[in-house]
Chain A
């Protein structure tokens, strides 16, 4: 369970990134965070695993405060939270397998991982993760030989190998084309349903949020302006989140070439 209590973040120049946020996310939820660029989606997500520090409040992961943790306890909390990035953040010069295995380092001592050797069980786990995202045949290819969608699936495999209980995905499909977007979102949804991993995704496209998420959180100027199930997230409510009527820009379906639309209701 993720719990945010009165979380605020003020940047050194005085702008408020997050403003008094209170949230509770239960295990197994698939949450989509929506909002305009600069609304604080990324800041919110990155404060959950403390890639960003918050200025006020407390964030608890399964009862343990990540805000106050440091050193090994902080690393242990982070080990349980996988993250997926807009730009994939793979090491491009390393093989796919090594990138996935990098997700395992939190389980071993620094000394043991110094020369990049992993136990058989870890390699097996990495292969299973690659199989789950259907990219196992690329295991020994260099990451930069893969397309964007394939790279993002490797990043998902890394999170799976990490055996994370929570997945944070920061605009995971923003640099992908519509069809690849569907594949990646399907993978995320499947993992959420099959493995029960709590998934929190920042999304720009409203229809994606509606078709994949079970709960939608709307952010505007660092404040939560909507929090509820998909059924309540009507166009009118979205208009409130965005402060204006929904634009075609915010719909992925209008960007698809043919009539095929996302039908990914799980």
Chain B
């Protein structure tokens, strides 16, 4: 291995003898030896960052009139609420099952349609597949615009247009899923291996064939994983859409809270929790298998 044992042996002996001394009293005592080493960068930047973050926190709490005192003052109320919530009213379960199923259906349909619309848009957004920046930059801009609208606001708008019920909820989720899936997919598209595309060009494939044979197999698993992930998010989102009248379990939150029936609210929360956890678990397992 080592062709020249001498320096090795020497340095070993020295190292053993001087190890502790060298390590502990490095900078002041033996500065002469370490003149070539770079100086550690200053920590000032980190301290300043911390100060700025603290100032921002303090500033926003003053601005919103939030204080620790209020939190402590309010805590008995919270305890009261919790006390009223327990025990949950188990018999209420039968009343909310249909609404919960509706919530899941909304999420399912919203995700599906969002995913379908996302495919062509993602292809247009990917800089390595789109023909020119004149196409993908405007499409990306529109996509980002869609993504800035929160799902609850979308639902409220659709409720205003189509009236109460699950339909506006589904449409809100469709738009929301579309934005999320298209974004994630086009970013994955930009990382694909160009080789197969080149090979498909060389066999005389048309541009659609290039995508079907060169791109789709590379992106399939990622895409399905993103769709599942969006479905997870949508189930959670669909649970609150009812607050603005867009169908699903959220409606029951509003009703029970309005009538101060906190034991029923607690039942809904527990049920939602169970469903969301289950769907998250299944989806995570599926996605692990995929990638």
Contact = CB atoms under 8 A, between A and B. Distances in A.
Interface of A: 49, 51, 75-83, 85, 87-94, 98, 102-103, 105-106, 110, 113-114, 116, 155, 158, 162, 168
Contacts of B220: 93
Contacts of B199: 83, 85, 89-90, 102, 155, 158
Interface residues of B, number: 21
Contacts of A77: 204
A114 B212 CA distance: 6
A89 B195 contact: yes
B287 to A, nearest CB: 16
Given A89-B196, A106-B205, 15 more contacts: A75-B204, A78-B201, A82-B203, A83-B203, A91-B213, A92-B218, A93-B218, A102-B199, A105-B204, A105-B209, A106-B203, A110-B206, A114-B208, A114-B212, A162-B204
A49 B214 CA distance: 18
A88 B198 CA distance: 11
B217 A85 contact: no
B249 to A, nearest CB: 38
Secondary structure of the B contact surface, majority rule: helix
Given A102-B213, A110-B208, A91 B196 contact: yes
A105 B200 CA distance: 9
26 contacts: A49-B202, A51-B201, A77-B204, A79-B204, A80-B204, A83-B203, A88-B195, A89-B195, A89-B198, A90-B199, A91-B218, A92-B218, A102-B213, A105-B203, A105-B213, A106-B204, A106-B205, A110-B208, A113-B213, A114-B208, A114-B212, A116-B212, A158-B199, A158-B203, A162-B203, A162-B204
Contacts of A92: 193, 218
A90 B196 contact: yes
Interface string B200-238: 111111101100111001101100000000000000000
A105 B211 CA distance: 12
Contacts of B221: 93
Contacts of B214: 91, 102
Nearest to B195: A89
Contacts of A168: 202
B202 to A, nearest CB: 4
A85 B195 contact: yes
* 7 tightest Cβ-Cβ pairs between the two chains A and B: A79-B204, A106-B204, A89-B195, A78-B204, A83-B202, A89-B199, A75-B204
Contacts of B198: 51, 85, 89
A102 B198 CA distance: 12
Most chain B C-beta atoms within 10 Å of own C-beta, residue among A78, A89, A92? A89
Contacts of A90: 195-196, 199
Contact of B217 (A75, A94, A110, A114): A94
B222 to A, nearest CB: 10
Contacts of A75: 204-206
Nearest to B207: A110
A90 B126 CA distance: 21
Contacts of B193: 89, 92
B209 to A, nearest CB: 5
A89 B205 CA distance: 15
Interface string B234-257: 000000000000000000000000
